Amino acid sequence: MTNFNLNRLVPAYVREFEPYIPSKPDEELKKLYGCRNLYRLNNNENPLGPPPGAQEVIRAFSPPRGAVYPSGDSYYLREAIGRLHGIDPEQVVVGNGANEVIAFVVKAFCQPGDNIITADKTFAVYEWVATFSGIEARLVPLKQERFDDQAMLARVDENTKALFICNPNNPSGTYWDKETLLRFLDSLDGKQIVVVDEAYFEFVENDDYPDGITLIKDYPNLIVFRTFSKMYGIAGLRIGYLAADAAVADMIRRTCVVYSVNGIAQEAALACLNDNTGHIAGTRALVRESRDYLRRELTRLKLPVIAGEGNYLVVKLPGSDTLAYRKLMREGVMIRPMTGFRYPNHIRVTLSRMEAMEAFVAALKKILNM
Ligand SMILES: *Cc1c(COP(=O)(O)O)cnc(C)c1O
């Protein structure tokens, strides 16, 4: 045998990291749970799919182009994103989903011994990327379901490199208004990177909700994430981006793996931005109707609801969320159990078509004997 010693080669922070287990493909799940149909209410996908222009781009993609490398820096897409926000295309870094962009940022700013600060009950990828990179993730409890700005500031020390704010928060739907975000940025005074993840930006209609990208000119330590996975309905193509000060973006670009963003995704994303068929308005209307309906029905069932912005809401169940997941799967409804988000006994439900919402309510009543 060889002297191969796997453990010796792998850093402890990788060895000890508990990997995320993705769910099985729908067809396997249907067999496993014995259901004919499956409503996917677990990933906050847009049931309307991509806007028509993006659908056309996907259909028209010429197969021989599969042999050709895409633009390595999403050239035309960055130009369009720059125009959309009135910023220089050099300020934009595109990734294979916003998830990849999170990794770019952690790689660019953090080394073992450093820490990042975020909330305990939020999108888990910030914490995961930090942890398996040997970076401490300091998790500050939410306060009344909101990111607690004062408590986060209190955890900052000389090894803190970045603070991650999910705005609006997935899963609680709460957000910081412009005043709160500005106060937070002023308190940090440019000494750390502030990341504002605006994955659900296009769903928020309130006037006091800040567009982080407009603040970058005044706060060069600010990085804003956006994605094409949620409102724009191309989660399967994997594309998202960050906007930052040009010098910050230049540092981050050094950590990118070139060609990680495929050509269909770049073209479809461009078509999403050019949509003029009211795709966003239509999606917002659908989400609003479904949120009102679910809130009403769940309140009638005396189940506490945490609902705010975004195309999802959280329900507190009388018992185990993981057990409810399995029972709901047998009824053909896939939701997200929230134990992994540190919300035991809670589930998150994507706001989708009314037909799916009605199926969810009927299945929930059945499994809870209501
Ligand atoms: C879905 C989501 C993302 C990541 O989306 P990608 O599909 O990787 O672009 C990032 N942040 C939050 C809060 C999300 O919910």
What mean pLDDT comes out for the span 115-136? 97
Overall average pLDDT of the 179-197 stretch: 98
Q: Which two tokens stand for residue 110?
A: 């953090």
Does 150 share its domain with 192? yes
Task: For the beta carbon of residue 75, count every other beta carbon within 10 angstroms.
Answer: 12
- The mean pLDDT of 171-188, rounded to a whole number, is 98
Q: Does the residue 262 lie in any domain?
A: yes
Structural domain that includes position 83:
52-273
Same domain, 305 and 363: yes
Nearest CA to ligand 1 atom 2: 199
Instruction: Name the pairing type of β-strands 160-166 and 115-119.
Output: parallel
Our count of domains for the chain comes to 2
What pLDDT, on a 0 to 100 scale, did the predictor assign at position 257? 87
For residue 154, being part of any structural domain is answered with yes
Alpha-carbon distance values, 248 to 65, 150, 196, 262, 274 (Å) = 33, 26, 15, 24, 28
Q: State how far the Cα of 120 lies from the Cα of 283, in Å rounded to an integer.
A: 29
116 in the same domain as 135: yes
User: CB burial class (10 A; 0-12, 13-18, 19+) of residue 27?
Assistant: exposed
Query: What is the reported pLDDT for 28?
Result: 97
* Residue type, position 364, single letter: L
DSSP state of 137: E
282 and 174 inside one domain: no
pLDDT for the residue 21:
87
- CA of 98 relative to ligand 1 center, distance in Å: 5
Burial of 231 (0-12, 13-18, 19+ CB in 10 A): buried
- My answer on whether 265 and 224 are in the same domain is yes
Pocket test for ligand 1, best of 227, 311, 348 (most atoms within 8 A of CB): 227
Domain membership of residue 113 (yes or no) is yes
Hey, which residues does 112 pair with through a beta bridge? 114
Share in percent of the chain as helix, strand, coil (round to 5)? 45, 15, 40
Of 96, 167, 197, which is best to mutate to test ligand 1, by the most ligand atoms within 8 angstroms of its C-beta? 197
Report which of 187, 202, 182 is spatially closest to residue 153, judged by C-alpha positions: 187
The H-or-E segment that residue 148 falls in is: none
Interatomic CA distance for residues 173 and 203, integer angstroms: 11
Give the tens place of pLDDT for each residue, 62-90: 999 999 999 999 999 999 999 999 999 99
Closest CA relative to residue 88, chosen from 274, 211, 247, 258: 247
The rounded distance, in Å, linking the Cα atoms of 325 and 41 is 11
229 C-alpha vs ligand 1 centroid, how far in Å?
A: 7
Q: Please tell me what DSSP assigns to residue 143.
A: B
Of the candidates 155, 196, 154, the residue with the CA atom closest to the CA atom of residue 177: 196
In this prediction the pTM is 0.97
Return the H-helix or E-strand segment holding 346.
strand 346-350
Q: Is residue 350 situated within a structural domain?
A: yes
Close Cβ partners of 182 (under 8 Å, ≥ 6 residues apart) = 210, 215
For residues 146 and 130, give the distance between their C-alpha atoms in angstroms, rounded to a whole number.
Answer: 22
pLDDT score recorded for residue 24: 94
Asked if residue 353 and residue 253 are part of one domain, the reply reads no
- What residues line ligand 1, using a CB cutoff of 6 Å? 97-99, 123, 166, 170, 197, 199, 227, 229-230, 235, 240
Tell me the best of 230, 266, 312, 338 to mutate to test the pocket of ligand 1, counting ligand atoms within 8 Å of each CB and taking the most. 230
Kind and range of the H or E element at 162?
A: strand 160-166
Average the pLDDT over 18-32 and give the result.
93
Residue of 170, 172, 237 best suited for mutating to test ligand 1, as the one with most atoms within 8 Å of CB: 170
The Cα–Cα gap between 198 and 300 comes to: 32
Domain end point (choices 246, 273, 300):
273
Helix or strand or coil: residue 195?
Answer: strand
110 Cα–ligand 1 center, Å: 21
- Token pair 């220089």 is found at 88
Backbone phi, then psi, for 119, in 5-degree steps? -95, 165
**Distance of alpha carbon 351 from alpha carbon 203, whole angstroms:** 11
Q: What is the mean pLDDT of residues 315-319?
A: 97
Please indicate, yes or no, whether residues 116 and 162 belong to a single structural domain of this protein: yes
Q: Domain with 292 in it: what CATH number?
A: 3.90.1150.10
> Per-residue pLDDT for 1 more than 80?
no
Q: Look up the CATH number of the domain holding residue 183.
A: 3.40.640.10
- Of 273, 297, 320, the position where a domain reaches its end is 273
SS3 at position 315: strand
On whether both 150 and 253 belong to a single domain, the answer is yes
| 318 lies in some domain | yes
Same domain, 140 and 252: yes
Residue 148, pLDDT > 80, answer yes
Atom number in ligand 1 closest to CA 123:
13
Do 176 and 136 belong to one domain?
A: yes
2 inside domain:
no
Boundary-marking domain end, from 257, 273, 289:
273
Q: How would residue 29 be classed by pLDDT, with cut points 50, 70 and 90?
A: very high
Residues 214 and 140 in one domain: yes
Residue range 102-109: average pLDDT? 98
Instruction: Clarify whether residues 268 and 357 are in a common domain.
Output: no
Say what the pLDDT of residue 370 is.
86
Closest CA to 204 of 291, 320, 276: 291
Report the percent of the chain where pLDDT is more than 70. Answer: 100
115: helix, strand or coil: strand
Closest CA to ligand 1's atom 12: 199
Report yes or no on 162 lying in a domain.
yes
Backbone angle region of 144, left / alpha / beta, with phi > 0 → left and psi within -120 to 50 → alpha: left
**Angle at CA 170, nearest 5°, toward 365 and 154?**
130
